Amino acid sequence: MSDVPALVPVRMVNEFEYCPRLFYLEWVQSRFVDNPDTVEGRYVHRNVDLGHGRMGGPDQDDPVRQARSIMLGSERLGLIAKADIIEGSDGKVLPVEVKRGRPPRHGPAWSPELVQLCAIGLLLNDNGYSCSEGQIYFAETRQRETIPFDDELVAKTLQLVEDLRHVASEPGPPPPLVDSPKCPRCSLVGICLPDETNLHTGRSPVRPRRLVPRDPSARPLYVTEQGARVGIRGGRAVVSKHNEDIEAVRMIDVSQVSVYGNVQISSQFMRAAFMRETPVCWFSYGGWFQGIAHGLPSKHVELRRRQVAIASQAGLPVARRMVEGKIRNSRTLLRRNSREDVDRVLTQLNNLAGQVASAPSIQSLLGIEGTAARIYFSRFGTMLKIRNDPLGAFDFQSRNRRPPRDAVNCLLSFGYSMLVKDFTATALAVGFDPYLGIYHRPRFGRPALALDLAEEFRPLVAESVVLSLINNEEVRSSGFVIRAQGVALTSQARKTFIRAYERRMDQEVTHPTYKYRISYRRVFEVQARMLGAYLLGEIPEYIPFMTR
């Protein structure tokens, strides 16, 4: 346990008593996500955190009347704390912890709150003060509950400190709680994924509850107006041109920013984006994904260590499942949408998907995927319902790119670029290095892991959006510009594509493994986190997202 810090924050004793896995994720891996409870908790603490009053030494008769936000530490106990309130009278001190909510019906306070308060009392005694009890103030009911520090509570608190130090020294987090009522209100439930992880490990055969948080109100902000500038004013992202505002969106409503072509971004906006962990993505005018900026990298170092290890030697099982997912989803899209008899092609794709499991190497896997793609795209045109196309703009023959030489390939390339952008942002949010792939090799500056994660979603999202745009006549031949040997989208057609793509991302679908309904936006994150759980050894295999 030599690598565990000498002083453990007392708040972590609270977290450990609530859930050892939560403690590990939050303290050891430094992972934290706000939810309404944590935001309310900070609001309740707003006055306490400002600090007030002074606290004298323990040798004084009355060292304190009332002081707020007092730092305490003890190397002997191995604890450090910022006490909310310390009150004193008759030579004794009384710690008061401020909590949101109300006390439980069965007792004065919840167990995690009791041990946290007791730990602060132990710190006061160890620093020479006289402290035999404390109080918890519940903001919702505006009442105080007095907690005596009896031998049983002290022994429990000290044992928890010893246990949490042992858990903190382990290379990975403890397993999730099983079917616990604590999970739905936990702010890290979307990272922990307790029911999903337990299902894979056999610890719980029960169908997973829908614990993944619903989509936040924040959405991507796309800026395609050439010559525009993105700044910040009054907590809003402001898009302007020639000193006239075009759009203003609250920063809390922006999940990511994507700019296309000649668009400027102020340094003030970038700082605000970094503080909110809002990624900013740059695209060429034609839609090539060129870069991403974000704040400090994730502190989930162990995940990146495992990523490096599997990328260098043991990634074949995961790569097989990713390719299988792509082939089977391509087959499903073709089966559902083709206007011609494609039974022979469907059989071929099914056989190729079956061969994936026995592929002996990444090279052979590339061969199987390439064959499946060639067969699939040979019949891709049968899914297009072309009604009014006198110029033959949507006459699809084969997949081509760099640059795309027809309208359909132009749409496909743009869709894939947006997909990779989203998975790059997702990979960064989860804690991965998006450039270190498992299936795709980290060459030529490609975000290889983002490409890996995108494989199974190319048919379900990007190609599905292309079919919808063409078959519903949302884009027409007038929405494309032919330049030399390449075809590009007009500004209006690009906006139309972005709207269609975001509609698809918001569409809810039943997860084939976990059986609850979530949006594709959330599916991306769930799949990335389950890949992380596999790399960390928490689940036995990675299961791709495959629709029927």
Residues 324, 425 share a domain: yes
- Through-space distance between the first and last CA atoms of the chain, rounded to whole angstroms: 48
Q: Are strands 219-223 and 143-148 parallel, antiparallel or unpaired?
A: unpaired
Residues 255, 164 share a domain: no
Residues 164, 31 share a domain: yes
Identity of the residue numbered 229: R
The CATH number for 438's domain is: 1.20.120.920
Q: Does the pLDDT at position 416 exceed 60?
A: yes
The answer to which of 2-11, 27-36, 494-503 has the lowest mean pLDDT is 27-36
3 Cβ contact partners less than 8 Å away, ≥ 6 residues apart: 169
Residues 170, 237 share a domain: no
Q: 75-112 b/e with 16+ CB inside 10 Å = b? A: eebbbbbbbbbbbbeeeebbbbbbbbeebeeeebbbeb
Residues 306, 251 share a domain: no
Tens of pLDDT, residues 223-282: 888 889 999 998 889 999 888 888 888 988 888 898 888 889 999 999 998 888 888 988
What percent of the chain shows pLDDT beyond 70? 92
Residues 529, 432 share a domain: yes
The pLDDT value recorded for residue 255 is: 85
The pLDDT value recorded for residue 212 is: 55
Rounded to an integer, what distance in angstroms lies between the CA atom of residue 372 and that of residue 361? 17
The pLDDT value recorded for residue 326 is: 94
Residues 479, 389 share a domain: yes
Q: How confident is the model at residue 20 (pLDDT cuts 50, 70, 90)?
A: very high
Q: At what angle do helices 316-337 and 464-471 cross, to 10 degrees?
A: 20
Q: Which among 222, 226, 238, 224 is positioned nearest to 280, based on CA atoms?
A: 222
Domain endpoint, select from 249, 264, 293: 293
Q: Which residues pair with 239 in a beta bridge?
A: 230, 247
Rounded to an integer, what distance in angstroms lies between the CA atom of residue 360 and that of residue 351? 16
Does any domain span residue 207?
Answer: no
Domain endpoint, select from 142, 174, 206: 174
* Other CB atoms within 10 Å distance of the CB of residue 195: 26
The CATH number for 237's domain is: 3.100.10.20
The pLDDT value recorded for residue 51 is: 67
Does any domain span residue 202?
Answer: no
Residues 274, 407 share a domain: no
Domain endpoint, select from 248, 270, 293: 293
The pLDDT value recorded for residue 216 is: 62
- Domains of the chain: total: 3
Residues 121, 86 share a domain: yes
Rounded to an integer, what distance in angstroms lies between the CA atom of residue 247 and that of residue 270? 17
Q: Does the pLDDT at position 390 exceed 60?
A: no
Residues 95, 45 share a domain: yes
What is the average pLDDT across 455-484?
87
Does any domain span residue 348?
Answer: yes
Does any domain span residue 198?
Answer: no
Question: Coil, strand or helix: which one is 500?
Answer: helix
Q: Does the pLDDT at position 211 exceed 60?
A: no
Q: How confident is the model at residue 397 (pLDDT cuts 50, 70, 90)?
A: confident
174 Cβ contact partners less than 8 Å away, ≥ 6 residues apart: 20, 21, 24, 167
Does any domain span residue 269?
Answer: yes
Does any domain span residue 181?
Answer: no
Q: Does the pLDDT at position 203 exceed 70?
A: no
Query: Encoding tokens for residue 207?
Result: 């169908």
The pLDDT value recorded for residue 210 is: 57
Q: Which among 197, 191, 198 is positioned nearest to 213, based on CA atoms?
A: 191
Residues 234, 97 share a domain: no
- 69 φ/ψ sector (left φ>0, alpha ψ -120 to 50, else beta): left
The CATH number for 57's domain is: 3.90.320.10
Contact 527, 519 (CB under 8 A): no
What is the average pLDDT across 492-505?
90
Name the residue with tokens 């910022």: 82
86 Cβ contact partners less than 8 Å away, ≥ 6 residues apart: 55, 64, 66, 67, 68, 70, 93, 94, 95, 96, 124
Question: Coil, strand or helix: which one is 148?
Answer: strand
Q: What is the mean pLDDT of the chain?
A: 85
Q: How confident is the model at residue 464 (pLDDT cuts 50, 70, 90)?
A: very high
276 Cβ contact partners less than 8 Å away, ≥ 6 residues apart: 251, 252, 254
The pLDDT value recorded for residue 270 is: 92
- Phi and psi for 234 in degrees, rounded to 5? 60, 35
Does any domain span residue 191?
Answer: no
Rounded to an integer, what distance in angstroms lies between the CA atom of residue 314 and that of residue 311? 7
DSSP annotation of 115 reads H
The answer to which of 38-47, 112-121, 270-279 has the lowest mean pLDDT is 38-47
Q: 474-510 b/e with 16+ CB inside 10 Å = b? A: ebbeebbeeeeebbbbeeebbebbbebbbebbeeeee
The pLDDT value recorded for residue 512 is: 84
Rounded to an integer, what distance in angstroms lies between the CA atom of residue 458 and that of residue 17? 43
Tens of pLDDT, residues 316-339: 889 999 999 999 999 999 998 888
Does any domain span residue 115?
Answer: yes
Rounded to an integer, what distance in angstroms lies between the CA atom of residue 14 and that of residue 302? 24
Name the residue with tokens 């975000």: 447
Residues 232, 149 share a domain: no
Regarding predicted confidence, which is higher, 326 or 405? Answer: 326
The pLDDT value recorded for residue 47 is: 72
Query: Encoding tokens for residue 32?
Result: 């934290």
Q: Quote the domain boundaries for residue 272.
A: 219-293
Rounded to an integer, what distance in angstroms lies between the CA atom of residue 220 and that of residue 505? 11
Rounded to an integer, what distance in angstroms lies between the CA atom of residue 448 and that of residue 452? 6
